Amino acid sequence: MMKWVLFIPELYYVLFGLVFFILSLSKNASSKRLHGIAMTLAGVGVLVTVFCARQTGMVFFDAYRVDLFSQTFKLLLSLGTFWVISSCNELKGIDERQHPEFYFLISICTLGMMMLVSAVELLTIYVAIELSSYTLFLLVPMRRNADVYAETGIKYFMVGVTASAFMIFGISLIFGMAHTTYVTDILRVLPGVIHEPAAIAGLVLALCGFFFKQALFPFHSWAPDVYQGAANQVTTFIATASKMAAAAMVIRFVGFSGGESEVLVNVLMTLSILSMTFGNLVAIIQKDIKRLLAYSSIAHAGYMLVGILSMSERGFASAIYYALAYLVMNYAVFMVIMKIADDGHNLQIKELAGLHKRSPLLAMTLMMGLFGLAGIPPTVGFTGKFLVFAAALEKGYLALVVIGMVNATISLYYYLIVIKAAYLLEPVRPYPAIRIDAWTRSMSLALVGLSVYLGIFPDKFVALTEAAARSLPY
Amino acid sequence: MVTLNSYLTLSAVLFSIGAVGVFTQRNALIMYMCIELMLNAVNLTFIAFSRYLNDLGGHVFVFMIMTVAAAEAAVGLAIIMALFRNKETVNVDEINLSKG
Amino acid sequence: MSFLIGTEAIAHVAFWIVVGLTFGGAVIAVFPRNIIYNVLGLVMALSGVAGLYLYLGSFFIALMQLLIYVGAICISIVFAIMLSRPLHLEVPKRSVPKVAMAAGASAIFFAAVVGVIFKSNWVPAPEQSGDWSVVTIGHLLLTRYDLVFEVISLVLLVAIIGAIVTAGYSRRFSS
C-alpha cells in the first residue's frame, strides 16, 4: 500500500515552506509577487486537504494517525492559513525584507499544527507543539515598530516555554503511569489507573501546554500583550489557526481519562468558569480592539472547555463545531480590523466611528462577526454555544450552563459597544475612505453568508463533527 | 539502593527551585536559565522512569528535550538580544509599556 | 575498621555529593543578583544532573548532557551576557511580597508533587534487563521515533533561521 499518500497534506506544506526558504535567499523579490505566490500555494493547500479529507490509516510505526478527526482539523487549519495569507496583501506591519521569512514561518507553523492534530504518540505531540510554538515565538517580534513592542516577544516566549516545561513534566508522569507513549495504549491503560493521583496530576499538567495556546485562565497573561504587540496579520493567525490546533489537543488529552475521573472534571469546570468570567469582565474596560478581542478569546476558551469537559461524544462534537464557528466569526472581525488599519497600526475602538458610512460592507461584516461572538441567533456563534451548553446539560452540569449564559450576556455588552461605535458614533475627525478590493468584498460576503448559513442549517456540519468525534480512538 | 521515589523527589525539588526563579527573577536571561533547570528536572524523571519501567523510550524523550532546549537557546537568546538592542535592558520589569 | 570502606559506601557518598552539587548549583543559579554567579551555578547544577544520569546507568545521556547543556547552552548564555548588559549596572530592586508569593506558590506546587509521587502506586517493569546500548537508541530513533527525528531537524532549522532574522536584523539595518 502506498502509505505516503496519507502524508500528502504535510508534505505539501513542507514544500510550501521550502519555496519561501529559497525565495528568502533572493535579494529582490517584490512583496506583491511574494503575496501572489503565497496565496496561490495556500489556496492549493486548502484543495489538497479537501482531497485528503476522507483518508484513514496509520503511518510512521503507528505514531501518526490519519482519520476524520485529524483531517477535519487539518481542513480548518489550512482554511485559516489561507484566509490569513489572503489578507496579507498590504503587509505593512512587517518590514519588507522579512516578508519571505514571514510566509516561511507561517507555512511551517501550519505544518506543525497539522502534525499536532494527527500525532498519536506523546513525543511526536511534544515535538510538533514545539515546532508550532517556536514559529509563533519568532513571528511575534517581527513587527516593524519593534522598539515599542519588543517586550511582547519576550513575554510570549517566557510564558510559552514555562507552560511547555509544565506540560512535559505532566507527560513524564503519564509515561510513568501508563508505561507507554502511544495514545492508543494510554487510552487502554490510563482509565484503569485514573484514580492514582499521578495520573490526574500528569493529565492536568500536560494540558497546561495546550491551555497556554488557548489562552485559558491561568495561562492567559500573554494574550492581551501579544494580541496588541504583534502585527495584525500575526495576531489574526494566533487568534484563529493556532486556537484550532490547541482545541483539538485538549479534546485528545481530556479523552485519556475515559470520562472516569470526577477530579479532572472538577478541575476543568473551575478553569472554564474562571476563564469565562475573568475574560468577559476585563474585556469591558478595554479601549484597544485587539486587547478586547484578546480578553474575549480567553472567555471563548472557557466556553469551548464546557463542551469538552462533558466528555461525551456529543460534547467533543460540539467543541469541534464551536472551533469552526470561532474560526469563521473571529476571522470576520479580524479581517475588518486589518482592512481599516491597513497601515498596520493598532486600532482603537473610537476609530471605528462612522464606519457604516466609510464602508457599509465592512461594518456589516464586523457586526455579524461580533454578533456571532456574542452568540446572537441566527449566527453560527449562537448554534455553537447552544450545542456546547446542550452537551453540558445532558450531563447535568446545570450550574455551569447558567454561569456560561450569564457570561454570554455580559459579553454582549462590550460587543455592543464596538457595534455602537461603528454604527452610531460620529467620528471626531474625518478618517480617510477605506479602499476595499474585489477579494475583500467577496470574502466579506462569503463570511457573512457562511456565518448565517452555518447558524440556520447546521445539520450537515453537526453530522460531520459527530463523525469526526466518533473517529477518535475510543 | 536509591528508589524511584527518591529520584522523583529530587527532580521535584529541582523543578520547584526553577519555578521559584522563573516567578521571582526579573532578568530575562536568569529567567531563561531557570527554565533550563525545570527542563533538566523533567529529563531526570524521564531517565528514572526509563530505568524503572525498562523502556528506552524515556531516553529518546530526553534526547529530544535536549535538542528542543538547544533550539530554545537559539530562539530565546535571539529575542533577548533584540530586546536589549531596542531597549537597552534585559529586565522584564522595565518593559511594561504594553500594560493598560 | 575505618580503612575498609566498601565500594557501596563510596558509591553512596558519591551519590550524595552529586545531589549536593545539583541542589547547590540550582540555588546558586536562581538566587544571586550577579549574573555570572547564576551561570556558574547553572553549570554546577547541570553537571550534577549529568552525575545522576551516570548513577542511573545512562552513560550516553550523561555525555550528551555535558556536551549540549554545559558545552553549548551555557556558553551561548555567557555570550549573551557579554553582548547585553554591562555588569556594573545596578540590578533592579526585588519586591519582597512578589518573592514571598512566588516562593509560597512553588512550595505548594512542590508539596503537591511530592504528595502525588508518594501516594501513587508506581508499577515497575517485571524484569530489569534489556538492552541499554547506544545501538538500541539509534534503532529506536529510526523506527518508532522516526517522525520525531525528522521533525526535530525542522525545529532546529526554524530556530536557526528565526534567530538570524530576529537578532541580525537591526544590525543590518544600522550598518
Give the domain CATH number at B30: 1.10.287.3510
H/E segment holding residue B27: none
For residue C174, list chain A residues with Cβ-Cβ distance below 8 A.
Answer: none
Task: Convert the pLDDT of each residue in A26-76 to its tens digit.
Answer: 877 788 888 999 999 999 999 999 998 888 888 888 888 898 999 999 999
Decide if C118 and B34 are in contact by the 8 Å CB cutoff. no
Closest-CA residue of chain C to A96 = C169
For residue A134, list chain B residues with Cβ-Cβ distance below 8 A.
Answer: 71-72, 75
Decide if C151 and A131 are in contact by the 8 Å CB cutoff. yes
Domain hosting B79: range is 4-88
Interface check for C118 against chain B (CB to CB < 8 A): the answer is: yes
Closest-CA residue of chain A to B46 = A172
C115/chain A closest Cα distance in angstroms: 9
Closest-CA residue of chain C to B57 = C140
Is residue B9 over pLDDT 60? yes
Nearest to C166 among A112, A138, A196 (CB): A138
Q: Which three cell numbers stand for residue C155?
A: 525545529
Q: How many CB atoms neighbour CB A68 within 10 A?
A: 19
Q: Decide if A350 contacts A102 (C-beta within 8 A).
A: no
The pLDDT, as a whole number, for residue C9 is: 83
Residue B12 lies in a domain: yes
Interface check for B9 against chain C (CB to CB < 8 A): the answer is: yes
3-class secondary structure per residue, chain A: CCHHHHHHHHHHHHHHHHHHHHHCCCCCCCHHHHHHHHHHHHHHHHHHHHHCCCCCEEECCCCEEECHHHHHHHHHHHHHHHHHHHCCCCCCCECHHHHHHHHHHHHHHHHHHHHHHHECEHHHHHHHHHHHHHHHHHHHHHECCHHHHHHHHHHHHHHHHHHHHHHHHHHHHHHHHHCCCEHHHHHHHHHHHCCCHHHHHHHHHHHHHHHHHHCCHHHCCHHHHHHHHCCHHHHHHHHCHHHHHHHHHHHHHHHCCCCCCHHHHHHHHHHHHHHHHHHHHHHCCCCEHHHHHHHHHHHHHHHHHHHHCCCCHHHHHHHHHHHHHHHHHHHHHHHHHHHHCCCCCCCEHHHHCCHHHHCHHHHHHHHHHHHHHHCCCCCHHHHHHHHHHHHHHHCCCHHHHHHHHHHHHHHHHHHHHHHHHHHCCCCCCCCCCCCCCHHHHHHHHHHHHHHHHHHHCCHHHHHHHHHHHHCCCC
Residue B97 lies in a domain: no
Q: Which of A95, A142, A167, A168 to mutate to test the interface with B (most CBs of B within 10 A)?
A: A168
- pLDDT tens for chain C, residues 1 to 175: 455 567 788 888 888 999 999 999 999 998 888 888 999 999 999 999 999 999 888 888 999 999 999 888 999 898 888 877 665 555 666 778 888 888 899 999 999 999 998 988 888 877 766 677 788 888 888 888 989 999 999 999 999 999 988 887 554 444 3
For residue C125, list chain A residues with Cβ-Cβ distance below 8 A.
Answer: 179
Interface check for B99 against chain C (CB to CB < 8 A): the answer is: no
Residue B64 lies in a domain: yes
Decide if B72 and A161 are in contact by the 8 Å CB cutoff. yes
Interface check for C19 against chain B (CB to CB < 8 A): the answer is: yes
Interface check for C31 against chain B (CB to CB < 8 A): the answer is: yes
For residue B45, list chain C residues with Cβ-Cβ distance below 8 A.
Answer: none
Higher pLDDT, B79 or A432: B79
How many interface pairs between B and C have CB atoms less than 8 angstroms apart? 229
Is residue B85 over pLDDT 50? yes
The pLDDT, as a whole number, for residue B43 is: 95
Torsion, Cα A9 A10 A13 A19, to 10 degrees, reads -120
The pLDDT, as a whole number, for residue C91 is: 64
Mean pLDDT of chain C: 84
Query: Which ipTM did the prediction report?
Result: 0.92
DSSP string, chain C: -TT---HHHHHHHHHHHHHHHHHHHHHHHHS-SSHHHHHHHHHHHHHHHHHHHHHTT-HHHHHHIIIIIIIIIHHHHHHHHHHS--TTSPPPPPPHHHHHHHHHHHHHHHHHHHHHHHHS-----S------SHHHHHHHHHTTTHHHHHHHHHHHHHHHHHHHHHHHHHHHHH-
For residue B31, list chain A residues with Cβ-Cβ distance below 8 A.
Answer: 158
Q: Which three cell numbers stand for residue C137?
A: 537508541
Strand partners, A182: A121
Chains contacting A (3 or more CB pairs within 8 Å): B, C
Q: Which three cell numbers stand for residue C53?
A: 544520569
The C-alpha atoms of residue C139 and residue C166 are separated, in whole angstroms, by 37
Decide if C99 and B47 are in contact by the 8 Å CB cutoff. no
Q: How many domains does chain B have?
A: 1
Decide if C163 and B93 are in contact by the 8 Å CB cutoff. no
Closest-CA residue of chain B to C47 = B40
Decide if A61 and C144 are in contact by the 8 Å CB cutoff. yes
H/E segment holding residue B82: helix B57-87
Decide if C137 and B40 are in contact by the 8 Å CB cutoff. no
The pLDDT, as a whole number, for residue A152 is: 84
For residue B100, what pLDDT band results from cuts at 50, 70 and 90?
very low
Domain C1-87 is found in CATH 3.40.50.1400 = no
The C-alpha atoms of residue C18 and residue C44 are separated, in whole angstroms, by 10
For residue A111, list chain C residues with Cβ-Cβ distance below 8 A.
Answer: 154
Q: What letter does residue B88 receive in the DSSP assignment? A: S
Strand partners, A288: A348
Mean local confidence (pLDDT), B28-49: 92
Decide if C26 and B81 are in contact by the 8 Å CB cutoff. no
Decide if B39 and A151 are in contact by the 8 Å CB cutoff. no
pTM over cut 0.80: yes
Question: Can you list the residues of chain A whose pLDDT is less than 70?
Answer: 1-2, 145-148, 150, 474
